[in-house]
Amino acid sequence: MFGARCRGCPLAARCTTAATGRTLRLHPHDALQRAHRLAARDPELVEIYRRHRPMVERSMAWLTRGNRRLRFRGVRANDLWLSHRAAGLNLRRLLALGLHRPPTGSWALA
């Protein structure tokens, strides 16, 4: 791609050691990724991300702590086990947020 252009470049030695120059392939996904990185610099988005990231990271840590190996053989049994573990962690989080059952009988967040 840049073979002929690289020959006269003073920075070619720092860029590549290939005799034919450097070849770059840009996928359509790369343009989308650049656009998202540019949008991620928005101060409002950065603030929202900083507020919510710790909760997500904590949840993932709870989910994986001590559970790096599968307990059962087969996808179905492990999928069911993981679903139950995630439901348990979600319930624990809801209880920490104030989930309770008032005398009326319906669950509510305080």
Convert the pLDDT of each residue in 49-102 to its tens digit.
888 888 788 888 888 887 888 888 999 999 999 899 889 988 888 888 888 888
**Domain limits, the chain:** 1-62
* Angstrom distance (rounded) from CA 100 to CA 52: 24
* Residue 35 pLDDT greater than 90, yes or no: yes
* 30 confidence band (pLDDT: 50, 70, 90): very high
* Angstrom distance (rounded) from CA 14 to CA 61: 41
